[in-house]
Amino acid sequence: ILNVEQSPQSLHVQEGDSTNFTCSFPSSNFYALHWYRWETAKSPEALFVMTLNGDEKKKGRISATLNTKEGYSYLYIKGSQPEDSATYLCAPHRNKLTFGGGTRVLVKP
Amino acid sequence: DAGVTQSPTHLIKTRGQQVTLRCSPKSGHDTVSWYQQALGQGPQFIFQYYEEEERQRGNFPDRFSGHQFPNYSSELNVNALLLGDSALYLCASSFRTGSPNEKLFFGSGTQLSVL
């Protein structure tokens, strides 16, 4: 069983502040790392898929980095807005996607 | 373009009963995966269907079974329901099976409560 850990489990951010959180996973036999955003009462939506060590992806104010050798990925939110409030899920892909428990982000106006 | 649709949205059953959940994939997708999300946890992989066959299976008992139809839609069946089966069941579709770069497109889920 692939052990995927996300930390912190939840965090509160003041509007306008930047934040980041971590996804840790076993580094062996790695194929790809997915990030999904899951807003309340909606469906999870893919943010990024990363495959290469050192990969960086950016979508608006959200960006992610990947370190496959040490088995972690960071997701950054710059200048957080209330609409960034969601649960962010990471999922490494070996022969299937295995999701972490998520980081629940609440942005306070 | 319709996305992934799941039905029903909510369901209440009692222990020992059987339940069937349904999923229609996004147009153009041929692979359907099912996930169970218990409260406070991330989605747990149940199984994946491609070309009407179960291709991969997670750590779930045989009480959990599925089917994929020629139009790529899928059903998840759970027999002999237990209280612990109460969860949100998510369906996700993608094109082609096995590619690690393929993003999943999720439905809104079916909330199952077992009393």
Nearest CA in chain B to A34: B103
Name the residue with higher pLDDT: B60 or A31: B60
> A42: which residues sit within 8 A by CB, 6+ positions away?
B108
Q: How far apart are CA A35 and CA A50, in angstroms?
A: 9
Question: Phi and psi for B53 in degrees, rounded to 5?
Answer: -130, 150
State CA A97 to chain mean position distance: 14
Question: Are the beta carbons of A43 and B56 separated by less than 8 Å?
Answer: no
Question: Are the beta carbons of A1 and B56 separated by less than 8 Å?
Answer: no
State CA B99 to chain mean position distance: 19
Per-residue pLDDT of chain B (115 residues; tens, 9 = 90+): 679 999 999 999 999 999 999 999 999 999 999 999 998 899 999 999 999 999 999 999 999 999 999 999 999 999 999 999 999 999 999 987 668 888 999 999 999 999 9
Nearest CA in chain A to B6: A43
Nearest CA in chain B to A87: B42
Segment (H or E) for A106: strand A103-108
Question: Are the beta carbons of B100 and A93 separated by less than 8 Å?
Answer: yes
Cβ neighbours of A6 in B, within 8 Å: 42
Residue type, A89: L
Question: Are the beta carbons of B43 and A96 separated by less than 8 Å?
Answer: no
Shortest distance, CA A109 to any CA of chain B (angstroms): 25
pLDDT tens digits for range A38-87: 999 999 999 999 998 999 999 999 999 999 999 999 999 999 999 999 99
Contact residues of B toward A, CB < 8 A: 3-4, 33, 35, 40-45, 48, 56, 58-59, 90, 98, 100-101, 103-109
Residue A87: name the closest of B40, B71, B106, B98 by CA. Answer: B40
pLDDT of residue B36: 98
Q: Is the peptide bond prior to A92 cis by the omega test (within 30 degrees of 0)? A: no
* Residue B45 exposed, middle or buried by CB count within 10 Å (0-12, 13-18, 19+): buried
If you average pLDDT over every residue of chain A, what do you get? 94
